[in-house]
């Protein structure tokens, strides 16, 4: 660390665990330091608006944004655990999210601790039989998981449709990406109760919209705004103003009225970017949604073309850039295609440089290259070769056109189409 320690002026101590002999200069041996420490410690007093948590967004479409949350956020973590997740003192609760993720921190650690429940953390990889045992042997009362995991359980169920033995299980909830209606109804078949989907973001810091235990679940819906949360579907105008859309099931951008305790207080070192999230008294989420006549919200997708696969947000540019590193690739375009387990899978279209011929060997080589650079979760699952890719007159690849043709959907406005794929 010595080579870069000078670049971190705030670093005061380096503690070495299990240090044999004298520690190197600039470091302390952990065990002797602990032995000589005072047994009492006075907790630092903090104010509600003091910074408490710094959660970074996924960053797959660019540099990750650090969402700043304050100590008052615990109010939202506590009450939404009670209302949205039905946590009660004495419950045994399992949140399957990694504790390092925003869900794992907010609802895997903070909310259960403040609500006086026993929390279960399992570090092992997903395994159907292991999850069955945890639900049964740990007597889980409330279970919070992700749609991808639910779909994986559904896939295993199709081969082994044994009922789940979880007599203590009272409430099941899901978050991370939209929960398809089939998963909700499958919950009733397998567990005797539905999964309750909910919606929130790193920026909101806590659950904003949910299917409460007391509500009738509409499979495929995110539910309704929690008490104290005002949500709407809005439309942005060319001049930057925002108007709310009142027509039921009209598509628009999901927006929230600011002011809840866990709302981010800024993006770290990016004040201008933070200010762009607000307009005309709304926080603009970047998600597209619809609201029905009963106040239930329905997720449509991101306002951009981000791909959601197995809990990962995948930016096409990231994948395209890696493909372009290969000697054979001249151009690349990436889209997301529906998948019953992962939600979406990545498909790439590539145009080759002169001297290279499309074929199965090259396709496999490209897939291996992408997997090595990006990892299995982000790399394309399929690659198709094209002579060229559809572009606008300004040179931008029209990903939406590739996706429409792949899915047999209307191609939409082609007035800006310059070149055509073959």
pLDDT on residue 420: 55
Give the span between the Cα atoms of 256 and 231, in whole angstroms: 4
Stretches in the chain below the pLDDT threshold 70: 58-63, 177, 301-305, 313, 315, 317, 391-396, 413-422
End-to-end CA distance of the chain: 53
Structure tokens, 262 = 């866990």
Q: What is the pLDDT of residue 126?
A: 81
Would you state the pLDDT for residue 217?
Answer: 92
377-414 pLDDT tens trace: 889 999 999 987 886 543 457 777 888 888 887 777 66
Task: Give the torsion sign (CA, 86, 80, 242, 287).
Answer: negative
Task: Say whether 412 sits in a helix, a strand or coil.
Answer: coil
Q: Which tokens sit at 103? A: 């869900």
**Residue-level pLDDT at 143:** 97
The predicted structure's pLDDT at residue 413: 60
Tell me, what's the pLDDT at 194?
94
Q: How far is the C-alpha of 234 from the C-alpha of 251, rounded, in Å?
A: 8
Backbone angles phi, psi at 405, to 5 degrees: -70, -35
Give the C-alpha distances (Å, rounded to integers) separating 408 from 75, 350, 396, 398, 405. 47, 20, 22, 16, 5
Q: Is the pTM of this model over 0.75?
A: no
Per-residue pLDDT, 251: 80
- Give exposure, 104-136, as e/b (b: 16+ Cβ within 10 Å): bbbbbebbbebbebebbeeeeeeeeeebbebbe
- The structural domains of the chain, ordered by start, are 2-35 (no CATH), 51-302 (3.40.50.12780), 307-419 (3.30.300.30)
Q: Residue 417: its pLDDT value, please? A: 66
């Amino acid at each position: 660390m010595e080579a870069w320690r000078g670049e971190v002026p705030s670093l005061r101590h380096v503690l070495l665990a299990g240090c044999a002999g004298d520690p190197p200069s600039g470091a302390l041996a952990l065990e002797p330091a602990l032995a000589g420490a005072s047994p009492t410690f006075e907790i630092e007093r903090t104010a509600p608006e003091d910074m408490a948590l710094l959660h970074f967004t996924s960053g797959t479409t660019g540099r990750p944004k650090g969402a700043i949350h304050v100590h008052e956020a615990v109010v939202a973590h506590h009450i939404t655990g009670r209302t949205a997740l039905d946590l009660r003192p004495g419950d045994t609760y399992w949140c399957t999210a990694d504790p390092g993720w925003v869900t794992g921190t907010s609802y895997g650690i903070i909310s259960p601790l403040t609500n006086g429940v026993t929390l279960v953390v399992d570090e092992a990889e997903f395994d159907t039989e292991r999850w069955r045992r945890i639900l049964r042997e740990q007597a889980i009362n409330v279970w919070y998981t992700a749609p991808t995991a639910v779909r994986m359980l559904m896939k295993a169920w199709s081969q082994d449709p044994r009922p789940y033995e979880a007599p203590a299980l009272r409430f099941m909830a899901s978050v991370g990406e939209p929960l398809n209606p089939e998963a909700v109804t499958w919950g009733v078949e397998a567990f005797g109760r539905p999964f309750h989907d909910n919606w929130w973001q790193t920026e909101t810091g806590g659950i904003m919209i949910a299917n409460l235990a007391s509500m009738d679940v509409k499979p495929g819906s995110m539910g309704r705004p929690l008490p104290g949360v005002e949500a709407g579907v809005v439309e942005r105008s060319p001049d930057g103003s925002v108007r709310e859309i009142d027509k039921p099931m009209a598509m628009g951008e999901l927006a929230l009225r600011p002011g809840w305790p866990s709302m981010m207080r800024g993006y770290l070192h990016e004040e201008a970017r933070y200010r762009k999230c607000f307009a005309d008294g709304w926080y603009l989420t970047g998600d597209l949604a619809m609201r029905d006549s009963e106040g239930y919200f329905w997720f449509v997708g991101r306002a951009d073309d981000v791909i959601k696969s197995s809990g990962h947000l995948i930016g096409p540019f990231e994948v395209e850039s890696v493909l372009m590193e290969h000697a054979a690739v001249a151009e690349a375009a990436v889209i997301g295609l529906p998948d019953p387990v992962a939600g979406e899978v990545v498909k790439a279209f590539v145009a080759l440089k002169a001297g290279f011929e499309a074929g199965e060997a090259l396709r496999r080589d490209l897939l291996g290259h992408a997997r090595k650079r990006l990892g299995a979760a982000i790399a394309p699952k399929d690659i198709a070769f094209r002579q060229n890719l559809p572009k606008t007159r300004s040179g931008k690849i029209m990903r939406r056109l590739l996706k429409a043709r792949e899915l047999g959907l209307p191609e939409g406005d082609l007035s800006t189409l310059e070149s055509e794929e073959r």
